[in-house]
Every structure is written in C-alpha cells, then in structure tokens.
Structure 1
Amino acid sequence: MSQTPESREQAIARLQKSASELETRTASQISQELAGQKAAGQAWKIIADLFGGVLVGLAIGFGVDHFAGTSPVGILSGVLLGFALSVWMAWRTARRIQAEAIKAGVQPQAVPFDDDEEEDA
C-alpha cells in the first residue's frame, strides 16, 4: 500500500503546525523557568533585607559604643533597631511582590497545614 503523496502546500502547512506547537511548548517551559528564577531572586532579596538590617544596626551600635563609651547599650539597641527595620523592609518587599502577583492575575493560595511531621515521630 502506497500512501498518497501530499501536496507541497499540505506539507508546508503540516510543518508550520508542528513548528508552532513546538514553539508554544518551548515558550511555556521557558516562562516557567524564568518565573522560578524571579521567585528565587525575590526570596534572596528578602533574606538580604533581613541580614542587612541587623548588620547595619550592629555596625551603627558599635560606632556609638566606640565614640560615646556606652559599651553594651549601643550594640544592643543597634541590633534591636536593625532587626525591627529589617523585618519592616522584608514585610514591605513581600507586600510589593504580592501586589505585583495579583496585578499579573496570580491569585495567592494558602499553604495547607502539614500533619505528616507528627505522624513520623
């Protein structure tokens, strides 16, 4: 049984359809990878905000202690103020990311509670 040879136009149409399907699959995979990279970058920014605030508060507190001679008070107050500032900055960044996601049409979902930890013990 020989197959009927397809016309040139049919072959071109078939190849174009295959190419467009491949392009669609590839584009969705690339967009998912980019979304994952963007989320990881945003998570690192929040972590940097948390550590940076504490370290800056520690440095300022150390400077105050060094020049004012108030040995542990400056470092302690600097670390506490730096921690409070870093939590506020991380909260602000998370709110901005959430607003961008909602604007893009992504609905936030609650993470389900996991009881598996208690069962394993």
Structure 2
Amino acid sequence: MPKADETNDKAFDSLDARLAAFEARKAAEKPAKAGAEKANQDGYRLLADLIGGVLVGLGFGWLLDRYVHTSPWGMVGGLLIGLGLAIFSIVRKAMKLSAQASATSSKGGDDEHMGDGPTVPKQKRD
C-alpha cells in the first residue's frame, strides 16, 4: 500500500505545479487586458452620462410643457439645461479619470519620460 500513497503524492505535486504555471500565465495576461477594458468602461460611462443628461432634461421639459402649457419652450429649455449639466458632469469626470491615469502611470516606475512635465530644468535656490 505505501506505493499507492507515493503515486498519489506525485500526482498532487504534478497537479500543483501545472496549476501554478497556469495561474502565472493568466496573471501575465491580465494587466494588458485590464487597461483596455477599463478605458472602454470609462468611455461608455461618459457616453451614458451624456445621453442620460439629455434625456432627463427633455423629460423635465416635457413635464413642464404638459402641466404649465408652455408648449415648445419647456422642452427646449430642458434640453439646453440637461445638455449643459451633462457636459459639465462629463468634463469633471474626464478630468478626474485623467488625473487618476496620470497618477497610476507615474507610480508605475517606468523610466520613460512621457513629456508631461516642464522642459526647463529646476534651478537650485540658495
């Protein structure tokens, strides 16, 4: 019977080694895919915010027209207000995403200079 246990131990060791190799391959592929997926998600989120802002503005304008009887002007005003607020919101989110992306790229430890800093060297102060 001891031989059967030794064979099982070797099989488990072999399985562990193959599993570790598989996980290492998957971990190496993950960062490349994660960056592209995050960019797509952020773009779709900004697009949804734009469309949602316009539709909400139109909805409020339609309600105003319906109950106050200001026929086309409620929808026109709602459209303009919704579009303005949506653009304002998108610009704020895009600035925040840009700041996060530049912070993570500077933390990455890459020695390549991306050209995003000042070109004049800093001078020492006495």
TM range, smaller chain: 0.5 to 0.7
Deviation at 1:32, TM superposition (A): 1.0
RMSD: 2.6
Q: In the TM superposition, what are the counterparts of 1:1-12 in structure 2 within 5 Å? A: none
1:61–1:98 Cα change, 3 Å:
same
Match in the other structure for 2:34: 34
Task: Output the CA distance in 2 between the equivalents of 1:83 and 1:35.
Answer: 30
Q: In the TM superposition, what are the counterparts of 1:36-115 in structure 2 within 5 Å? A: 36-105=36-105
1:109–1:61 Cα change, 3 Å:
farther
Deviation at 1:34, TM superposition (A): 1.1
**Residue 102 of structure 1 contacts residue 108 of structure 1 at CA under 8 Å; is this kept in 2?**
no
Normalising by structure 1, report the TM-score.
0.66
Task: Output the CA distance in 2 between the equivalents of 1:104 and 1:77.
Answer: 41
Runs of 4 or more off by more than 4 Å in structure 1? 106-110
Normalising by structure 2, report the TM-score.
0.63
1:109–1:78 Cα change, 3 Å:
farther
Task: Output the CA distance in 2 between the equivalents of 1:105 and 1:75.
Answer: 44
Give the count of matched residue pairs. 91
Structure 2 gaps of 5+ residues are: 1-16, 107-112, 117-126
Deviations 1:68-112 (A, max 9, x none): 0000000000001101111111111110100101111258789xx
Percent identity between matched residues is 32
**Residue 64 of structure 1 contacts residue 70 of structure 1 at CA under 8 Å; is this kept in 2?**
yes
Query: Which amino acid is 2:77 matched to?
Result: S
1:26–1:94 Cα change, 3 Å:
same
